Every structure is written in C-alpha cells, then in structure tokens.
Amino acid sequence: MDEMLWHKHKWPETVEKTIDYPDEPLYAILDRAADDYGQATSTIYSGVTRTFAEVRDHADRIANFLVSRGIKRGDRVAIFLPNLPQYPPIFFGILKTGAVVVTCNPQYKAGELNFQLKDAGVKAVFCMDHPSFTPTTYEAAKGTDVDTVVVCTVKTELPRVKAVLGGLLGRIPKSPYHEEGTVFYEDILANYEPKAPKVEIDAAEDLALILYTGGTTGTPKGAMLTHRNLYANIKQIGEWSQLINEETGKPGKFKPLGEVYVGALPWYHSYGLTLTMVASYDLPGSLICIPDPRAGDPPMSDLLADIEKYKGTILHCVPALYAGIVNHPNLDKYDLCSITACGSGAAPLPPELAKAFEASTSATLFEGYGLTETAPLATANPALVATRKFGSIGLPISDTYLTILDIETGKKELKQGETGEIAISGPQVMPGYWNKPDETAEVMRTINGRRYFLTGDIGHMDEEGFFVISDRKKDMINVSGLKAYPREIEDTLFEHPKVAMAAVIGLPKEDGTDDEFVKAYIVLKPGETATEDEFLKWSKEKMAGYKRPKTVEFRDSLPMTTVGKVLRRELREEELTKKGE
C-alpha cells in the first residue's frame, strides 16, 4: 500500500497497513470456530447457550434443507428476523448452499417487505412465529418468487420451564395461523442431516449478501457484497482493534474466547451484522442475542441487565443508544465494568455524548465510519485513547484509501484541508447495486487507477490524516450563500447541559429565494425544562449568526430509523406540509 498522510502521524504502530485476505468463502469462519473451539459458547439468549459446534450443526442442516427445496448457487434467500439465536445458523446455512443472503428489517410492513422480496428475486424466507411477523411474511410473499417460508419460534431457544410456562400462559409470541406448506425451523433440525452441499465459491466474485439501503432518500437499493468484501472487512476490523494489554502495557489484538459481543444493533443492518454477529465467529467470541435493545421498564433496562449478567465486553451502538444508556434513570444500579471496547457509528457521535458515556462507565468509546456499500467499516479512531480525536471519524483502516472530491462533479481531487465529498476505495467496497447499473455508475469513480465509491458525505482531511465529516451532501443548509452543516450545529447543542438529543434542519425562507434558515428540535433530559428564548440566547454565545437556530421546538422524541439515525427528511416534510408546500 502507498504511504499516505494518515500513516505518518498517529497510525497505530502495531497495526499493519496492508494485510492478506483468505481466498475462501465467508462461512469458513464458522467452520474454523467449530473445529477449534467446538464446545465453547457461541450464542447466549435468555439463559440458554449454544456452542460453536451446535451452530455449525444447525447451519449444515439448514443448508441441506434449502438444497432439497431447490435452492442453488446464486439464488437469494431472505432473513426476516430480529436478533434471535437462529439468526447465525440461518445466515451461514444460506451461504453454505452458495445462495445469497438478503437481510430484511423485521419492522417492515407487508408492502415494504414485498418490494424487497420482489426486487431481489427471493425464493425462500425465514421469519419469526409471531402475530405480526408471520402474517406479514405471507402477505409480502404474494406475487413474488417465494415458495418456501420457514417459521422460527423463540420457544425452542428458552429454558424448558420458561418455555412450558410461557406456552401455557400465552406469553410466547405465536402467529394465529400458518399457511399450508409452512416449514418449521425445529422440523428442519429434526429431519435433515448436518450435511452441507459441496459448492465451489469464488470469494472475489460470488455474492454473499444483498443489503438494502435504508430508503430514507427514496427507493431502497440493494448493495451487493461479495464473500471477499465481508471477509476483508472482518480481517480489517480484527487488525485495527487493538487495546493496551494490562500485563504487557503494549497494544494487542483481542484473544479467542476472551470477548463477549453484545448484540444490541439489529443484524439486518450492516453495522450490527458485520461488527458484532459475523465478527463473533471470526475471533471467535460469545454473542449475546438481544432482539430489542430498548426493551424493559424503564427502556433499555433489559440491555443493561444482559451486559451485567453475561459480562459483555464489546459493545457497538449508535449515538441514540449511547444517549439512552447515559440518561437511564437507574444506570448506577448496573455493573457495566466488563465493557472494554465500544464503537459508535451509523450516525454522528457528538463529542459531549461520548464524554458523558465514558464518565458513566469504565469503557472507552471510539467513533468509526462506514456505509452499507463498504461492508461497512472504512475508517476508525485509533483504539488508543492518546491518539484518538473526538469529533473525527478517524483514519482509513488497513488497505483503505479515502480522498476528497469536488462536490459539483465528484471527479476532481481536492487538497488536504479542503471540504468536499468523501470517496472510499478498498477491498470492502461493493461491486455495485443489485440490478441498477446506472445508479452504480453514478457513485463509482476511477481515480489514479483506484476504484472509489462516492459516499454522499461532505468532509475534509486534517493535517494528520484524520477525516472529519461536516454532514450529508443532501443535508447542507444554504443560509444566504453560506453552508451550514446540521452535524456541527447538533454537536454544539449537545454541549448544553439540558439536552438529551438534538436535530437540525434547513427550511426555506418566505422571500421567494433559495435561502434557508435553521430550525432545531430538542429532546430534554428527564426532569429538565427550558424555553425557546433560553436556547436562542445560548446559541448566540456559541455559534456564528448563520449557523444559529432561528426557531427551536421541544419534543419528547425524534423520528428515527430502527438503527438510530434521525430522520431529518421526515422533520422537513412535516414542516413543509404545515406550510402547504
């Protein structure tokens, strides 16, 4: 790899700039974990554990079943499940047939799921036995190529006493009906041998996964990721993740069976899938399955209880979840000292929130950056506290190049310090969007012989090679010709001691021009009160005139995606609807 600016200052000395990637399918990490640590704990859910050997056994049975249903190399099979213990064996079982996994948001309604099943040409779906999920799956499958629906129940994953009592008392979710031809997960385990087919996989070319972008800016697109894309990103993450060893005082990688991953983020999403679920099999380490991180009374109590009970060590969350932890009214009642490494991504991490989280726990929190199209991780702050930079997304990880391109054409490279669109090149970058060659061409550029993906994020590289994001290209606010960036304003609002969450949008002025003004939405911390005038006066002391909010609205919550991104578009649409635009 070429020597770049980011290698010359605070690049971790023990992290290799370039690494080797195995020429093998992604499911090899499960087989290796089962071969080397077969009887060690893989999944943990509601007190029940499954070993790596059991997960492979189930994956092989699922692969055998799918082949019997005509599933072959290149076919697409969907997973419509929350973070349940069945997820890993289903994921790897699909891959063992040579088929492609299509992950689906379990909160989708029938129409949304139907679009995804139809667009990807899905032939089989795994869903949860649930009053909502199961009927939604049946309805969504109409008019698609789906001819196999596999229903999974949580009952088989619970302790026997709890399962029996739950069934008697009706506390275990179950669909009111099942259509003819439905296959049950437990029947697959009972009736099919653990014999996966022998399939030749071209790791560099064959797809492992189609991940649909959130669709917050329009029709969702399926990002295609090969076995190599995902395997490379897992190895890059493993190389980058080095903490100080207490015994030697030197940085070192995580050790096999030494970590417990907290599955708080949804596995249908790239961030939770790669950095938590898949990563737990590459190390390997145990994996706490958490279907709903906000469950409990007060919300998030169950998550905190699981971290304490099972001694979770690696936690990946989005800023909204970290804010929920920091503001939990009973936080001091939970022992979270087992957590050693925390990552934040998928949305901007306000520095004040990171500091508050660290002050409330013994953990260290680092911000990283990536996208669905990059499998996802592209940059990360060094894992050593002395070299990280709050407010930055860190340095490009091994074998990864970032450059800044002009916003207008996306073809001209800008100099260090200049602001433009961030572009990414590396082995984790997708080949393109499923069945969308034109959309693929729009976001890909070849520069100096390297293939770059245009992220749509605006930022710059500082003098030490750290990258800083200003905001999304589409979210820039035009204030009398000056560009105001919502993220920068939101980070400043987070400095106010009463703020729990904040969001900022630009709205058109009523003068017939393209000028906009800034509006802020604020969620106050529990028990706090405030006025709009209080924040307007405070903003005058903190921000330049064009950045300052002209109006402030207080809310109990903000509209968010299921992975914790604030839906600024929805806020803007609400405002425009009020004005009749």
Q: Answer yes or no: is 452 within a domain.
A: yes
pTM: 0.83
Whether the per-residue pLDDT at 262 is higher than 90: the answer is: yes
- Over residues 441-469, the mean pLDDT reads 94
Sequence-distant (6+) residues with CB within 8 A of 363 are 315, 336, 339, 340, 341, 342, 357
Give dist(CA 140, CA 110) in Å, integer.
Answer: 5
Whether the per-residue pLDDT at 162 is higher than 60: the answer is: no
Q: Answer yes or no: is 561 within a domain.
A: yes
Among the residue ranges 146-160, 277-291, 331-345, 549-563, the one predicted with the least confidence is 146-160
Indicate if 85 and 143 belong to the same structural domain.
yes
* Structure token digits, residue 366: 């680092």
Indicate if 446 and 489 belong to the same structural domain.
no
Whether the per-residue pLDDT at 562 is higher than 80: the answer is: no
pLDDT in tens, 16-43: 999 999 999 999 999 999 999 999 999 9
Quote the number of domains for the chain.
Answer: 3
Q: 169 pLDDT band (50/70/90 cuts)?
A: very low
Return the percentage of the chain with pLDDT > 90, whole number. Answer: 68
End position of a domain, from candidates 169, 202, 235? 202
pLDDT in tens, 506-521: 888 875 556 789 999 9
Q: Answer yes or no: is 214 within a domain.
A: no
Q: How many CB atoms lie within 10 A of CB 257?
A: 16
Give dist(CA 87, CA 81) in Å, integer.
Answer: 7
Indicate if 413 and 460 belong to the same structural domain.
yes
Q: Answer yes or no: is 25 within a domain.
A: no
Q: What was the pLDDT predicted at 372? A: 93
Whether the per-residue pLDDT at 161 is higher than 60: the answer is: no
Q: Answer yes or no: is 208 within a domain.
A: no
Indicate if 251 and 150 belong to the same structural domain.
no
Q: Answer yes or no: is 62 within a domain.
A: yes
CATH number at residue 67: 3.40.50.980
End position of a domain, from candidates 470, 488, 523? 470
Indicate if 308 and 377 belong to the same structural domain.
yes
In terms of residue numbers, what domain contains 563? 477-578
Indicate if 196 and 326 belong to the same structural domain.
no
Residue pair 389/346 in contact by the 8 Å Cβ criterion:
no
Indicate if 59 and 136 belong to the same structural domain.
yes
Q: What was the pLDDT predicted at 484? A: 78
Average pLDDT, the chain: 90
Q: Answer yes or no: is 38 within a domain.
A: no
Helix orientation angle between 52-68 and 87-96, rounded to the nearest 10 degrees: 50
What value does the CA radius of gyration of the chain take, rounded to a whole number of Å?
A: 24
Return the percentage of the chain with pLDDT > 70, whole number. Answer: 93
Indicate if 121 and 59 belong to the same structural domain.
yes
Is 319 strand, coil or helix? helix
Q: What was the pLDDT predicted at 168? A: 43
CATH number at residue 487: 3.30.300.30
Q: What was the pLDDT predicted at 174? A: 65
CATH number at residue 465: 3.40.50.12780
Higher pLDDT, 474 or 53: 53
Indicate if 302 and 450 belong to the same structural domain.
yes
| Cα 569 to Cα 82, 215, 350, 474, 508, distances in angstroms | 26, 11, 20, 10, 14
Indicate if 550 and 462 belong to the same structural domain.
no
Q: Answer yes or no: is 212 within a domain.
A: no
Indicate if 246 and 110 belong to the same structural domain.
no
End position of a domain, from candidates 444, 470, 496? 470
Indicate if 277 and 163 belong to the same structural domain.
no
